[in-house]
Amino acid sequence: MAYEELVRRYQDVAVRTAHVIAPNGDAEDACQEAFVKAHAALGRFRPGSPFRPWLLRIVANEARNRRRSAMRRTGLVLRAAEDRPSGDAAPSPESAVLAGESRAGLLAAINGLRDEDREVIGARYFLDLSEAEAAEALGIPRGTVKSRLSRALGRLRAQLDDGNPRGVTHG
Amino acid sequence: MADRLGPGVSGTVAGGLEARLADLGGAIAWPAAPDLAVRVSHRLTAGSVPTRPDRGVWGTWGAWSGRPLRRSLLAAAALLLVIVAVAVAAGLLLPGLRIITLPPGATLPPVASQLPPGAASDGTLLGRRLGLGTATDLAGAEQLAGFAPLLPATPDVGPPDGVFVSAGRLGLVWRATRDLPETEVPGVGLVVTEFGGLIDEGWYEKLLFAGATTVEPVRVGGLDGYWVTGEPHALFYRDAEGRTVEETRRMVGDVLIWRQGDLTLRIESSLGQEATIALAETFRTGG
């Protein structure tokens, strides 16, 4: 079944997208539902458009539904697997400069941002979506991606400068 | 900022917040992505809605689905689909046709390139190998498919060598001749597929397995059509009962698809665009 190819091709980025949108939600369930809905919605797909951001928009919507259903924000955290991935080389001079703030601290600051800030940062930096893809996936104009990202980074910098990323839990 | 961020970006803003964010993306413990393909496929095949044994969020949805509000929304959605179909019909697109571009690398079942001895001269056998459906004749095809086949009315192309029907879809095969150069399948010169259905009954879309695939809008005797060349592609369409049907057969050559009356027609050939369109413009009932 060719659609299975599609699912396998995009399931990783779909799960990550769902996790960025709703870290406390059920990313797997959201993605499964999104793939089913995408299949049913193929007829509304614009000719010539890239498939990935269109799919991710459906994924994002499903994840948001689950975020709203969660009714609470506890657990809305992105966990750092470890401060440094195994096998990493010794810290470079650049890394030494960055060492003032740990990854965990940065992650906690991101988790302290409001949803739309975290989403746009996640789309651009964690999912590596282009501006156009992020716009499609998040359902906002491309210009809004730019302005929202700029404001989100500003707020993130402010939090980091305060040295108080709201103490959001992370593991 | 670059349109797409990446490792290179980190280097250009050394020590900056963006570099740290790019670095952080690789350090996050993402949920393991299970193989959703089988589950999704099962749901699509079964047409069922529930996702998991545990109710979870979907359980709430399921409970909600029986409520009057939900039913109203479903009715509105159905109406919207009809509106979309009508809007599509008024535009440049073929009624219901959708084109999707995918990254390269996806695979489809191989076309029947290895044919048994004698197959090249046997249109029925050729068609069977192509997976076009149940062999019949033109009279039987009209009965089984529910519409009168449209046939090329040109002395260069005689009656089809094989006639097939599958789920209301008609498949016609011509052997390769001097006027019908061989396609990607040895012995096959022309394949025509015809789908029934009205514009408010369904829609069609192609899955183009990208790479070198191109889709060019063309005119076929005053009608809108598309000329598709390059990588093989799969075809999905929605039948009159609203089910999405997937045709996994590879196309055997360049494709011309157009809408004529209540039918969508597709020609697969090695004739080239101009000759294929010229051939398409001769199609009429009874040939």
Contact B215 A101 (CB under 8 A): no
pLDDT on residue B132: 82
Tell which residue, B160, B157, B159, has the closest CA to residue B179.
B157
How would residue B123 be classed by pLDDT, with cut points 50, 70 and 90?
low
Q: Which residue has the higher pLDDT, B35 or A124?
A: A124
Question: Can you give the three-state secondary structure of A127-167, one letter per residue?
Answer: CCCCHHHHHHHHCCCHHHHHHHHHHHHHHHHHHHHHCCCCC
What phi and psi, each to the nearest 5 degrees, are found at residue B271?
A: -75, -20
Q: What's the CA gap between A62 and A56, in Å, rounded?
A: 10
Q: Which residues are registered as beta bridge partners of B236?
A: B205, B246
Question: Residues B217, B220, B221, CA angle at the centre, nearest 5°?
Answer: 145
How would residue B241 be classed by pLDDT, with cut points 50, 70 and 90?
low
Give chain B positions within 8 Å (CB) of A31. 33, 36
Question: pLDDT of A108-122, one tens digit each?
Answer: 888 888 889 999 999
Q: What's the CA gap between B154 and B160, in Å, rounded?
A: 12
Instruction: Count the alpha carbons within 13 Å of B157 in the hemisphere toward its beta carbon.
Output: 26
pLDDT on residue B282: 95
pLDDT on residue B227: 84
Q: Measured between CB atoms, which of A29, A47, A171 is closest to B51? A: A29
How would residue A166 be classed by pLDDT, with cut points 50, 70 and 90?
very low
The pLDDT > 70 percentage for chain B reads: 51
Q: What's the CA gap between A35 and B44, in Å, rounded?
A: 10
Q: Considering chain A, what is the average pLDDT of its residues?
A: 77
Q: Which of B3, B10, B28 would best serve as a mutation to test chain A binding (most A beta carbons within 10 A)?
A: B28
Asked if A80 contacts B28 with a C-beta cutoff of 8 angstroms, the reply is yes
Q: Measured between CB atoms, which of B31, B35, B51 is closest to A19? A: B31
CA–CA min distance A78, chain B (Å): 7
Question: pLDDT of B258-271, one tens digit each?
Answer: 888 878 888 999 99
Say what the pTM is. 0.52
Residue B76, H or E segment: helix B68-90
Question: pLDDT of B59-86, one tens digit each?
Answer: 333 333 344 444 444 444 443 333 333 3
